Amino acid sequence: MAVAITQVVDIDPTLERLGALLGDRITTSAAVCERHGRDESYHEGAPPQAVVYPQSTEEVAEIVSICAAAKVPMIPYGTGTSLEGHVAALAGGVCIDMMQMNQIMRVNAEDLDVVVQPGVTRKELNNYLRDTGLFFPMDPGADASVGGMTATRASGTNAVRYGTMREAVIALTVVLADGRIIKTGRRARKSAAGYDLTRLFVGSEGTLGVITEITLRVYGIPEAISSAVCTFDTLAGAVDTVIMTIQMGVPVARIELLDELQIDAVNKYSDLSLTVAPTLFLEFHGSEASVAEQAQTVGEIAAGEGGKDFAWTTNTEERNKLWQARHDAAYANKAARPGAQLWATDVCVPISRLAECILETRRDIDESNLFAPIVGHVGDGNFHLSLVIDPRDADELARAEALNERLVARALAMEGTCTGEHGIGCGKLQFLHDELGDAVDVMRAVKKALDPYNLMNPGKIVSL
Amino acid sequence: MAVAITQVVDIDPTLERLGALLGDRITTSAAVCERHGRDESYHEGAPPQAVVYPQSTEEVAEIVSICAAAKVPMIPYGTGTSLEGHVAALAGGVCIDMMQMNQIMRVNAEDLDVVVQPGVTRKELNNYLRDTGLFFPMDPGADASVGGMTATRASGTNAVRYGTMREAVIALTVVLADGRIIKTGRRARKSAAGYDLTRLFVGSEGTLGVITEITLRVYGIPEAISSAVCTFDTLAGAVDTVIMTIQMGVPVARIELLDELQIDAVNKYSDLSLTVAPTLFLEFHGSEASVAEQAQTVGEIAAGEGGKDFAWTTNTEERNKLWQARHDAAYANKAARPGAQLWATDVCVPISRLAECILETRRDIDESNLFAPIVGHVGDGNFHLSLVIDPRDADELARAEALNERLVARALAMEGTCTGEHGIGCGKLQFLHDELGDAVDVMRAVKKALDPYNLMNPGKIVSL
């Protein structure tokens, strides 16, 4: 998977210029650089040569201009919680840590949108919004930055109802690879004004420019919210319940699958006592009547598929505990094996193929003798194996690689994708090619057009 | 508005090669070329030098390869119902009429998606789907082709609930400007696999390639559908009802405004007897209980804003008549002034600015002494003036141009867009620049990267 990119030889003059601009908001500390070069995954890190901390779009533009003039690579950085080696400085260069740009600039409550800087995290945004009666539904497991979520086209548990960052982002301010500042759109809800640059930058993983401002859709907090938990004798029963729920058009806000391994890990990590069995976590949003109607419908579907103890609650505390446990699932798995690293797979398939895909994969895991709980946003057809491996164990790593390759091949054969929400990074370049073939050449052409010297997060998404 | 593009001098060898490929599916008939060079708007047409009728993706690829080899421009064509001069062959060349590629290739009912060729119209698709219990919600006024709707990022009355073609398209097959065939995505509901090429081609107006296959989201026909009509003493009352409905999060499926001029025209054209006053047409989708709840909520809001005679019905025949009248609004206006041409404006603003924008515009129309009913998808903040003008009357044309310029400037000042759903074509190049500034340079860079010889529908969206 290694990408051959030449390191910059003499970066010192560039660092001097950046220092003159930023004062003490630049560092070459080995520890800081090391930390900024790796994410939460098993991927090997690669430290940048310096880390800078801009505080405005204009400063980002100046940083980019300085680096571009010397052909120094740049890697935008948020919370470092990505999972495909996105932040590794494969060619060295300067890491642009966006976390000091963490202002919520405008809340347009009447228009159900907000304008934020990229360093705001999803939880910070929701804490800020609470008093306004609004919420922002995107929720990857980590408390990621909005900038990072935009750059990786992230989603999470609410995507089945509210869509992904693709739908959540209304407009962006972006600093291009040569330092120019553009706005990709206005605040109107829809527009047919030329190429959809907003969507081009959503999911571009820092390879086309640096996102410095994000206009986001938000939603009114629903009148009623209820959560439900339902356990099943078989994985098949749980997955078939999901499929029928989606096909019947029940507007579930969340419908998450956790297999028995995952429930066991979650019980231990989050101090819960859930029945250790394949389980669905659900959430319903709407009016009081609508929430009750939805829960009843899904309860009936589940009962027909061997679901047991379908229990629902509108108690906020119980609800929050449940979903925090769900969000901590990956950390729970990591904790189950101290010292090991996380490898989260991320396929997504058409829902009609979901049962087949999950059940074949479960058999494959069992035969591979690896610890890999299954957890996922199954309403979208997206699920993760949360592999916990010792990357120094060559045999284990090889078995994990082989398992993942078979999983991706299986998903592609079912017209699915190698990544539902984690992105390509440097971990999935070959899979991207397997999935989209010559379309990758079009991506490469776009990359060359917007970043001809391959300075923006080089080695991610496409190799040049 | 004219774009200076040099016509191809000797196209005959290319037409010979195309003739050898297509037999009688090529014509240079002046009447056919004339018809293929103009749309439904006031924009002057420009006929292509020939029209070809491919029947497969592979044939399109061969046509494009032949034209590209001789640097002959190509203009993809659907139903010719666009509104910004999209199909005008400004540099001559070959019109690729896609209407013989009209197969519905797959209906994946379990996955709520379909795969269609671009020549299928929205009504054909819905007629085909009816027995499956599914429907496709996008509905511009015309019975447009799915290919054309994709190319212009169209929407219509259901966008407030179901989104636009941006959300409706899951994946595309595209023939690039050099004849290569790519697929932009798979059938999974979400994907983070590289740059969002699907969204790049949605709304690209034929300037980046020819769309030859479209995978679309469809929806289960709701358990219950009801329509409502409500008249208001004032335009302000109607618009404020819309704003409050959206802000309260009522999941209306349609909420359309027609001013008194539009109601008068619709009454005459569609043989209705609606009260001549500012009016909202609404539609609710959901369970029986949910539809009743929504209608009640909106009825109460309307009553508070001076709404009268809020009448709702679940009768399918009445409902269809109402919406057919709405879709015929533009034709009704055209019929009100025989021999005149339609000029449909298309701004879209944040909903908090909608009342101000519409009321200022209404005053401006009155002062301009032009016939311009207001009609629109107000739930999205999008509304049209349906100007009916005699383009040979220089004074009238100048007044219409000035009115439109003020309207766009007003919308942009309110953080809106010059086009909610009609696109840029050759009619709004300057407005696109006013709206997005340097971002247009990025569009130009993308265009040059994918179509370096400016052969795909030249002169639309960006000038090179």
ipTM of the assembly?
0.96
Q: What are phi and psi of A381, to 5 degrees?
A: 85, 15
3-class state of residue B298 by DSSP: helix
How far apart are alpha carbons B267 and B276 in whole angstroms? 9
Q: Is residue B243 within 8 angstroms of chain A, CB to CB?
A: yes
How far apart are alpha carbons B112 and B162 in whole angstroms? 13
Q: What are phi and psi of A365, to 5 degrees?
A: -60, -45
Give pLDDT, residue A453: 97
User: In A233-390, where do the E strands start and end?
Assistant: 254-258, 279-286, 307-313, 341-344, 374-377, 382-389
Residue A132 scores a pLDDT above 70: yes
Cβ separation A182–B437 shorter than 8 A: yes
How far apart are alpha carbons A303 and B285 in whole angstroms? 27
Cβ separation A192–B424 shorter than 8 A: yes
Confidence of residue A85 (pLDDT cuts 50, 70, 90): very high
Q: Is residue A288 within 8 angstroms of chain B, CB to CB?
A: no
Average pLDDT of the residues in B168-173: 98
Give pLDDT, residue B3: 44
Cβ separation A108–B352 shorter than 8 A: yes
How far apart are alpha carbons B75 and B30 in whole angstroms? 16
Minimal Cα–Cα distance from B232 to chain A, Å? 23
Domain with CATH 3.30.70.2740 in chain B: 337-426
Interface test with B, best of A442, A450, A456 (most B CBs within 10 A): A442
Q: For a pLDDT cut of 70, what percent of chain B falls above it? A: 98
Higher-confidence position of B317 and B96? B96
- What are the tens digits of pLDDT across the range A150-189? 999 999 999 999 999 999 999 999 999 999 999 999 999 9
Residue A311 scores a pLDDT above 90: no
Interface test with A, best of B160, B187, B195, B291 (most A CBs within 10 A): B195
Domain with CATH 3.30.43.10 in chain A: 12-99
Give pLDDT, residue A2: 40
How far apart are alpha carbons B255 and A364 in whole angstroms? 50
Confidence of residue B1 (pLDDT cuts 50, 70, 90): very low
DSSP assigned state of B206: T
Q: Is residue A309 within 8 angstroms of chain B, CB to CB?
A: no
Give the orientation angle of helix A394-413 with respect to helix A354-368, to 10 degrees. Answer: 160
Minimal Cα–Cα distance from B81 to chain A, Å? 16
Considering chain B, what is the average pLDDT of its residues?
95
Considering chain A, what is the average pLDDT of its residues?
95
How far apart are alpha carbons B173 and B57 in whole angstroms? 8
Q: Is residue B422 within 8 angstroms of chain A, CB to CB?
A: yes
User: Closest Cα to residue A460, out of A121, A137, A82, A187?
Assistant: A82
B184, B193, B447 ranked by CB distance to A418: nearest: B193
Residue of B nearest to A438 (CA): B182
The predicted model scores a pTM of 0.96
B163, B192, B441 ranked by CB distance to A420: nearest: B192
3-class state of residue B411 by DSSP: helix
Write out residues 326-345 of A within 8 Å (CB-CB) of B: none
Residue B5 scores a pLDDT above 80: no
Residue of A nearest to B377 (CA): A190
Point out which residues pair with A374 in neighbouring strands: A385
Minimal Cα–Cα distance from A416 to chain B, Å? 5
Q: Which residue do the tokens 């202002």 mark?
A: A103
Cβ separation A195–B181 shorter than 8 A: no
Cβ separation B188–A350 shorter than 8 A: yes
Which chain B residues are closer than 8 Å to A242 by Cβ? none
Single-letter residue type at A71: K
Q: Are A253 and A219 in contact (CB under 8 A)?
A: no
Q: Are B281 and B227 in contact (CB under 8 A)?
A: yes
> How far is residue A104 from each of residues A100, A113, A182, B325, B351, measured CA to CA in Å?
12, 11, 20, 45, 21
3-class state of residue B173 by DSSP: strand
Single-letter residue type at B136: F
Residue B6 scores a pLDDT above 70: no
B113, B428, B448 ranked by CB distance to A449: nearest: B448
Residue B8 scores a pLDDT above 70: no
Cβ separation A199–B166 shorter than 8 A: yes
Which chain B residues are closer than 8 Å to A418 by Cβ? 193
Q: Which residue do the tokens 């709980």 mark?
A: A373
Average pLDDT of the residues in A220-229: 94
3-class state of residue A256 by DSSP: strand
Neighbours of B40 (CB within 10 A): 18
DSSP assigned state of A45: P
3-class state of residue B166 by DSSP: helix
Residue B90 scores a pLDDT above 70: yes
Give the right CATH number for A12-99 from 3.40.630.10, 3.30.43.10, 3.30.470.20, 3.40.50.800: 3.30.43.10
Write out residues 164-223 of A within 8 Å (CB-CB) of B: 164, 166-167, 176, 180-197, 199-200, 202-204, 208, 219-220, 222
The CATH fold of domain B337-426 = Alpha-Beta Plaits (3.30.70)
Confidence of residue A391 (pLDDT cuts 50, 70, 90): confident
3-class state of residue A274 by DSSP: coil
Q: Are B280 and B256 in contact (CB under 8 A)?
A: yes
How far apart are alpha carbons A403 and A235 in whole angstroms? 19
Average pLDDT of the residues in B164-193: 98
A351, A440, A450 ranked by CB distance to B111: nearest: A351
Sequential DSSP letters for B90-133: BTB-EEEE-TT---EEEEEGGGTEEEE-TT-BHHHHHHHHGGGT
Give the right CATH number for A224-413 from 3.90.400.10, 3.40.462.10, 3.60.20.10, 3.30.450.20: 3.40.462.10
- What are the tens digits of pLDDT across the range B362-398? 999 999 999 999 999 999 999 999 999 998 899 999 9
Q: Are B379 and B250 in contact (CB under 8 A)?
A: no
Single-letter residue type at A349: V
The phi-psi region of residue A272 (left if phi > 0; otherwise alpha if psi is between -120 and 50; otherwise beta) is beta
CATH class as words, domain B222-336:
alpha beta
Q: Is residue B464 within 8 angstroms of chain A, CB to CB?
A: no
Which chain A residues are closer than 8 Å to B290 by Cβ? 286-287, 289-290, 293
Q: Which two tokens stand for residue A350?
A: 């058409």
Domain with CATH 3.30.465.10 in chain A: 104-220
3-class state of residue B214 by DSSP: strand
Q: For a pLDDT cut of 90, what percent of chain B falls above it? A: 90
Give pLDDT, residue A464: 87
Which chain A residues are closer than 8 Å to B442 by Cβ? 176, 182, 197, 450
Burial B243-259 (b: 16+ CB within 10 A, else e): bbbbbebbebbbbbbbb
How far apart are alpha carbons B251 and B245 in whole angstroms? 9
Cβ separation B110–A247 shorter than 8 A: yes
Domain with CATH 3.40.462.10 in chain A: 224-413
Which chain B residues are closer than 8 Å to A430 by Cβ? none
Q: For a pLDDT cut of 70, what percent of chain A falls above it? A: 98
Residue of A nearest to B243 (CA): A110
According to DSSP, the β-strands at B94-97 and B74-77 are parallel
Residue A199: exposure state from Cβ atoms within 10 A (0-12, 13-18, ≥19): buried
Q: State the greatest distance between any 2 C-alpha atoms of chain A, in Å, as a whole number.
A: 69
How far apart are alpha carbons A109 and A116 in whole angstroms? 14
How far apart are alpha carbons A50 and A41 in whole angstroms? 22
B222, B420, B438 ranked by CB distance to A192: nearest: B420
Q: Which residue do the tokens 């579907």 mark?
A: A301
Q: Are B284 and B252 in contact (CB under 8 A)?
A: yes
Interface test with A, best of B153, B351, B442, B462 (most A CBs within 10 A): B442
CATH class as words, domain A104-220:
alpha beta
Residue B30: exposure state from Cβ atoms within 10 A (0-12, 13-18, ≥19): exposed
